[in-house]
Amino acid sequence: MTALDWHPQSMPKPTCINANAMTVDVEEYFQVSAFEQHIGFEQWARMPSRVEASTDRILAMFELANVRATFFTLGWVAERHPGLIRRIVDAGHELASHGQNHVRVINQDRKTFGADIRKAKAVLEETGGQAVRGYRAASFSIGATNLWALDELAEAGYDYSSSIYPGTHDAYGMPEAPRFPFRPRPGGLLEIPVTTVDVGGRRLPCAGGGFFRLYPYRATRAALRRVNRRDGQPTIFYFHPWEIDPEQPRVPGLDAKRRFRHYLNIDRVEPRLRRLLTDFRWDRMDRVFPVNAESDWPTASPA
């Protein structure tokens, strides 16, 4: 598959919105892509772990709000915290894959990527005791140069991916991609791009992560409502356990840009999340987006 397979006008019909999709990318604070040059893979096992306590706080928050979500989880985390994985499943949430070792797809060839996603799927399914249908790439790192990854995911048995940012970002993005769910191949895997809001013909981020910490809360709420009401589409929201952990160890040697992006307003995330959980209806990815309803989603056609 190449970028020429994409047709920007492939858009689904408006959907009746019963809920938006709440998602959590389960990874340690030291595994983020911004720290790749500062904390090598060989150091991970020696770093103080914070992910279990933070994710348990998220589970408690969701239970209080009666929200079920999708947890895109690293196989690396599942191997070290199997009890956490079982608590996620036992609480009624969807367990999905974030890959094995949080390596961006742009840094893998097809063979290496295929091995990573298959290992993660096997680890998560064995630990959680349920089928793993969904996948999200580290740092939304599937785009125009590596669309083969979507075919590889389908071959590995995944039913859907949420790995493309259909806009412009300095680290990732594919602005020519459709904004809403589509199938790269007829009857195949469903790609569900992370949500953007159209303002004056520009696609702006509004789905969570660092932008949720940067923008005033009311801006995120207004953008998500705009997508629901004007586009008639469910939205996807995402965040990480480390974003509700202001006490996490500070990584030394970061430049100003990385320090700003990682630590900005992390003391404000949990209160904002509690508001978000009550301002919208939320559910799991696999229930918000009916993966098996093949006729409901367009297929990207050749340009």
Residue 287: per-residue pLDDT: 95
Q: How far apart are CA 188 and CA 28, in angstroms?
A: 32
Residue 90: per-residue pLDDT: 98
- The structural domain count of the chain equals 1
Q: Is residue 26 part of a domain?
A: yes
Q: Is residue 9 part of a domain?
A: no
Q: Is residue 233 part of a domain?
A: yes
Please, which residues have CB within 8 angstroms of residue 60's CB and are 6 or more apart in sequence?
none
β-sheet bridge partners, residue 134: 160
Residue 84: per-residue pLDDT: 98
Residue 88: φ, ψ to 5°: -60, -50
291 is written with which tokens? 């993966």
Residue 140: per-residue pLDDT: 94
Q: Is residue 6 part of a domain?
A: no
Q: Determine the structural domain holding residue 60 and report its residue range.
A: 17-293
Over the chain, what is the mean pLDDT?
90
Contact, 98 vs 25, CB < 8 A? yes
Give the rounded percent of residues in the chain with a pLDDT score beyond 90. Answer: 74
Q: What is the mean predicted confidence (pLDDT) over 173-182?
A: 91
Provide, for the chain, the percentages of residues in helix, strand and coil under a 3-state DSSP scheme, each rounded to the nearest 5.
40, 15, 45
Residue 63: per-residue pLDDT: 98
Q: What is the CATH number of the domain that holds 75?
A: 3.20.20.370
Residue 171: per-residue pLDDT: 66
Q: How far apart are CA 117 and CA 164, in angstroms?
A: 16
Q: How far apart are CA 202 and CA 223, in angstroms?
A: 13
Residue 107: per-residue pLDDT: 94
Contact, 175 vs 300, CB < 8 A? no
Q: Is residue 11 part of a domain?
A: no
The per-residue DSSP string of 106-161 comes to GGS-HHHHHHHHHHHHHHHHHHHSS---EE--GGG---TT-THHHHHHHHTT--EE
Residue 123: per-residue pLDDT: 98
The CB density around residue 41, as the number of other CB atoms within 10 Å, is 12
DSSP 247: T
Q: What is the mean predicted confidence (pLDDT) over 253-272?
A: 88
Which tens digits make up the pLDDT trace of 113-172?
Answer: 999 999 999 999 999 999 999 999 999 999 999 999 999 999 999 999 999 999 877 667
**Alpha carbons within 13 A on the beta-carbon side of 100:** 14
Residue 8: per-residue pLDDT: 37
Q: 66 pLDDT exceeds 70? A: yes
Q: Is residue 242 part of a domain?
A: yes
Q: 248 pLDDT exceeds 90? A: yes
Q: How confident is the model at residue 253 (pLDDT cuts 50, 70, 90)?
A: confident
Angle at 224 between CA 17 and CA 293, to 5 degrees: 35
Beta strands 190-191 and 94-97, pairing class: unpaired
Q: Is residue 226 part of a domain?
A: yes
Q: 300 pLDDT exceeds 70? A: no
Q: Is residue 300 part of a domain?
A: no
Which tens digits make up the pLDDT trace of 17-62?
Answer: 789 999 999 999 989 887 877 888 899 899 999 999 999 999 999 9
Which tens digits make up the pLDDT trace of 205-240?
Answer: 999 988 999 999 999 999 999 999 999 999 999 999
